[in-house]
Chain A
Amino acid sequence: MNSFPSPADEVRALADAQFDGRINHEQTVRLESLIVNDLLCMQTYVERMAFHGEILKDSTTKTPAQATVTVLKEFSNAVHLRERRIRLTQFWSATVLGLGLIVVISALSIPGLFQAAPLGMVASLSSDARFKSSPFELGQVVRVGDSLTIDQGIVTLQLPDVLIDLIGPATATLDRSGHLSLNSGTIIAKMLHEGEQFKVTTPDVEVLDLGTEFLVHHDALKGTNVSVRQGRVQASLLDWRKTPTQKLELTDRRSATFQSSSARASEIDFQPEQFTPVDRSRGGIFSIDGMLRTATEQPVLLGSGKTPTFNHILVIPEHQNLVLEEDLNLDGMDGPVRIPAGSVINSYLVHYDPPGDVSRAPRGAITFFDPITAVITSSQGLLQSDSATGLPGTQYESAAFRGAELGPDEDRIQISNDRRTVSFRFDTSPPFYLDEVRILTVARSP
């Protein structure tokens, strides 16, 4: 039995379902029958679509100028899309036969042929990383065409010749090797090898990296800012057709802003604090794996139970680029260590403090850019080095159970032969679950 008070009510309900994309085959047939056979129903249907159109218009909250920009951008996108489609059609028409043959033969012999090429992997995740859609895992392979969205925290991608930090909220797409499109938010790119090139594109600008460390921030309304901390980039303002119109070359500690809609490209003040979130979270860490996560905020209290780590081991970059004014003598894992005055060192604290007994011993490893010079595992050694290399403003644990207890059936820590990687396996035995280890790397020797 029909539950609608009138045919017009039924038409409105069906039109709403259609607008919302929830209409099915039967309902469409019913809608057709109503509007074709009854002029009032037809008028109701058209009115309802105008109703939705008007609410859409009201919801966009755009000024006339912004609406114009939207119109023009959509128009340019459509032209761009159409040109691309035509080129693609021509390409496929010319090559489809030969390619088809190759694909068929290859598909029989190569498993996974149709999967996009892997480009790199997830090298680091901060402990507060959150994803609304598909979450990232450490070590996960990223491929050409992958859309990467992070809502909060930081994810680091290791691509050929470059490390990319995506700072949430942000969305980017890996177009191909050496090319990333930033749709919104902030990325920091750090080239790993000299002589290689990496390109970042936003709707406003194309940034060609020439061996450096740089930041790109894109905001749909405000445009794109590019900041170079070290090295050199070439940034080209793009017009509506994505064609470069104006080039700026940026070097150490220089920034520029680009806005396609206003055809504006100009230098602005360099703001070093833009890089702080990644410095604070990753410092000189190249990659992490296992249950490790980086911190994004400086912890205030690190006493037992004050900063619990539920499902991970936290690694906290401490003092970075610290120039030693006098020799630093420490009790390292393998014996006494002396770091001479004038050395530039980086310090990292590994903090593991589960709220209770855990069923599996946590494992993980950290790889650094610089060589590891000392791993401090004893509570006494940690206490002695807190003031010299720890974070000012952070209150550390002073109890004797703070350090790691090394042994075959206890905590295990290993340093790789090239002294870039340290791996952990923490034993969790009551009553005290806190385990901490401090790692010092030397960025420059005197």
Chain B
Amino acid sequence: MTEMLNPSFYHEFRDDLADSARESEFLRLLEATYHDLYTTGLTIVGNRHDADDVMQEICVILWQKFDEFEEGTSFKKWASTVAFNVAKAFARKQRRRKGFGLSDYALMKVAQVKTSGSELFELQCEVLRECLGKLPERDRGFIAACYRNSTSLTEYAREARMSVETIYSKLKRLRRRLGECAARQLGKEDSQ
């Protein structure tokens, strides 16, 4: 069953932002592209926790720059460009803080490949969804728990009363199985 969003929620946001159709439009577009933008941020910053933070930054910047978006053009393309730039700046800051990280050159190449191969990646994601659906319920639940955990796998391991290494080993096995399934579906030999 598809749950309908309470219209008053949209209404409230619309009022608060500026009481115009343009703001409602922004929210609609953001919702439609949210996942793609998240993956874009993740691809650049590399880890899940940074991706959560960068996604918030992306949302704010998109809203601030929304006047620059031309109606009739692709919001996804425009927003992805903004997301890449925000994520690259974020990754640069993290690199300075941690003392290591992928170089600007590498990140630029990553952005190029991500943009040029978007249709292929969408197809792969579709196949991966099918493979996830084929996993036994218990394994799917385990993966979901690992990915849902917003703190860290170490904390999840403590909650699940398992060693961190056990969690990682199991996760590694399941990732490999998913990769193999996706590769079979796509007819690829070297893909796990």
Interface residues of A, Cβ cutoff 8 Å to B: 6, 8-9, 12, 15-16, 18-21, 23-25, 28-29, 31-32, 35-36, 39, 42-47, 49-61, 63-69, 71-72, 74-75, 77-79, 81-82, 132, 239-241, 245, 261-264
Contacts and interface: CB of A to CB of B under 8 A. Distances in A.
Given A74-B56, A132-B158, A240-B13, A43 B117 contact: yes
B75 interface: no
A6 B99 contact: no
B111 to A, nearest CB: 9
- The 10 closest A-B CB pairs, nearest first, are A53-B39, A78-B56, A59-B147, A59-B144, A49-B43, A65-B5, A25-B100, A18-B46, A65-B3, A262-B6
A319 B47 CA distance: 56
Given A31-B102, A54-B128, A57-B35, A19 B48 contact: yes
Given A60-B148, A74-B59, 9 more contacts: A21-B48, A35-B110, A50-B39, A53-B35, A55-B143, A65-B4, A69-B5, A82-B60, A262-B6
Contact of B43 (A25, A46, A72, A132): A46
Given A46-B121, A51-B179, A74-B59, A263 B8 contact: yes
A21 B49 contact: yes
B71 to A, nearest CB: 21
B74 interface: no
Contact of B46 (A8, A12, A19, A47): A19
A20 B47 contact: yes
A36 B59 contact: no
B117 A46 contact: yes
Contacts of A71: 27, 30-31, 34, 59
A51 B103 CA distance: 22
15 contacts: A29-B100, A31-B102, A35-B106, A36-B103, A43-B117, A47-B121, A47-B124, A49-B39, A54-B129, A59-B146, A71-B31, A75-B56, A78-B56, A239-B16, A240-B16
Give the contact-size bracket for chain B: 35 or more
Contacts of A64: 2-3, 5
Nearest to A151: B159
Nearest to A68: B31
A237 to B, nearest CB: 11
B128 to A, nearest CB: 5
Contacts of B89: none
B144 A61 contact: yes
A56 B5 contact: no
Given A47-B124, A49-B42, A51-B179, A58 B100 contact: no
Interface in B150-174: 152-153, 158-159, 168, 172
Contacts of B102: 28, 31-32, 35
Contacts of B159: 132
B190 interface: yes
A55 B16 contact: no
A42 B3 CA distance: 39
B3 A63 contact: yes
A74 B55 contact: yes
Given A28-B102, A59-B143, A261 B2 contact: no
Contacts of A28: 100-102
A46 B110 contact: yes
A54 B101 CA distance: 23
